[in-house]
Amino acid sequence: MHSIMEQIQTKRIVLGLTGGIAAYKSAELTRLLVNQGMQVQVAMTEAACHFITPITMQALSGKPVFTNQWGEHTANHMAHINLSRTTDAIMIAPATADFIAKLAHGLADDLLSALCLARNCPLLVAPAMNRQMWESPATQRNIQQLLADGVTILGPVSGMQACGEEGMGRMQEPTELARALLTFFQPKLLSGVKVLLTAGPTYEAIDAVRGITNRSSGKMGYAITQAALELGAEVTLISGPTALSSPHGAALVNITSAAEMFEAVQKHVADANIFIGVAAVADYRVAQPTGQKIKKSTGGLTLELFPNPDILGYVAGLPKPPFCVGFAAESHNLHDYAATKRKTKKIPLLAANLAQQAIGADDNELILFDDTGEHVLPRADKLTLARALLQHIVKLYRQGNKL
Ligand code: PMT
């Protein structure tokens, strides 16, 4: 049984570039895909070569670039057939309005369009164009046609455009496109499954400007959100204040305090099949926060604190709870505290980490506690760990639900 990353590393991609200013971003996209271990074969239209050179793309992909149908690359002059038969997917990034129109109508007057028409593999298209071109009825009709033909459309996104206008039409960032491709190749083990997640810190107000919080960045919870989306889950992410942008495809609920997080969880939990509590929820809140800034005085300041509701405890205690996964951040005695916490909270799976190494960091190490014992997920970046954790969750969830 090969791991997901090993399976992805055997994938071969044709990356098609058409003539838009966003072509420069495809250089970075190529680098990201190659770093993930994919074989990337670049094909460019003549117009794309005006924006970025084939030499740049060859250097990054490590393969000669196909730019026309009549080149010497293939002995039989059937590059459009040969290329599409030896690839797992074709991604067009950037895809201009003109090229999208050609795809929608089945035109094949250059190598890239012929290759797309002759394909027997999935096609992913990342549009990039001026906002008026994107919004025009003709482009929208063509996009609808591509969707009806089973093409995956990635983006575009809204923002400042090269022409100086602002609006919808920017190509998705290379990291998003690389992520989308990874997602595309993963087996959808959680298709139809609803995952509810808490992430990040909570903030408990003391007065109008001060509060009690912690150093959770949200990175672990957002990585788990991404990993669940990759497996086809429908994800609701209830997040405390973070500087991160929500993974594309998750339903994001922003909250500030533990009480708000509790309320949001109560609202969404009835639908959830799996609940994962990654948030570093403040255990206490200030008994009486004031709406105005407390003035400094020469004396001390005493705050009365009340305990916050135990959100994970509440979910696990429901008459028909979802499959519950808790986290434990401990500064010492990790094994003992984590094993006890799993039993006290009555949850099937708990992921333990050392608080001082995990909180705010880009990488982490987890020890999973379940009915069969302990399982170490060795130090790695948080997305790699999240993917491994999700594989463990899927296994237990499927056993429990006899899937
Ligand atoms: O956000 P990062 O910077 O990436 O850091 C990740 C992390 C260290 C925050 C994360 O990996 C982690 O360990 N999260 C849980 C932190 C924590 O609050 O642990 P705890 O031992 O206090 O709580 C145990 C479990 O109960 C957790 O699942 C927590 O979400 C939940 N809990 C705690 C208190 C509370 N009032 N309600 C809860 O649901």
pLDDT tens profile 166-192:
888 999 999 989 988 988 888 899 999
Q: What architecture is domain 194-401?
A: 3-Layer(aba) Sandwich (3.40)
The architecture (CATH level 2) of 2-185 comes to 3-Layer(aba) Sandwich (3.40)
Note whether 15 and 34 are within 8 A (CB): no
If you average pLDDT over residues 240-260, what whole number do you get? 93
Atom of ligand 1 nearest to the CA of 326: 28
Does the fold of domain 194-401 match that of domain 2-185?
A: yes
The mean-pLDDT minimum among 90-104, 202-216, 388-402 falls in 388-402
The string of pLDDT tens digits covering residues 318-346 is: 999 999 999 999 999 999 999 999 999 99
- Name the percent of the chain lying above pLDDT 70: 95
- Which residue ranges make up the annotated binding site? 283, 293, 309-312, 327, 341, 345
Can you list the pairs that 101-104 forms with residues at least 24 positions away whose Cβ atoms lie under 8 Å? 101/138, 101/139, 101/142, 103/142, 103/146, 103/151, 104/141, 104/142, 104/143, 104/145, 104/146, 104/149
Other Cβ atoms closer than 10 A to 300: 5
Report the pLDDT value the prediction gives residue 149, as an integer from 0 to 100. 87
Amino acid 249: pLDDT: 83
The one-letter amino acid code at 92 reads I
What is the per-residue pLDDT for 1? 45
246: DSSP letter: P
Predicted confidence (pLDDT) at residue 62 exceeds the cutoff of 50: yes
Residues 245-258: what's their mean pLDDT? 92
Residue 77 has a pLDDT of 62
Q: Does ligand 1 come within 6 angstroms of the Cβ of 174?
A: no
Taking the whole predicted model, whether its pTM rises above 0.75 is answered as: yes
Residue in this structure with the two tokens 């039409």, named with its chain if needed? 169
Distance CA 98, CA 128 (A): 11
pLDDT at 6 over 90: no
394 lines ligand 1 (CB under 6 A): no
- Which residues are catalytic, by number? 163
Distance CA 236, CA 195 (A): 6
- pLDDT over threshold 60, residue 200: yes
Give the start-to-end residue ranges of the domains of the chain: 2-185, 194-401
Distances (CA, A) of 347 to 168, 327, 361, 375: 44, 10, 26, 16
Q: Is the pLDDT of residue 293 over 50?
A: yes
- Between CA 372 and CA 66 the distance in angstroms is 53
- 349 has pLDDT over 80: yes
For ligand 1, is residue 324 a contact (CB within 6 Å)? Answer: no
Q: Which atom of ligand 1 is nearest to the CA of 199?
A: 1
Residue 180: name the closest of 234, 249, 233, 244 by CA.
249
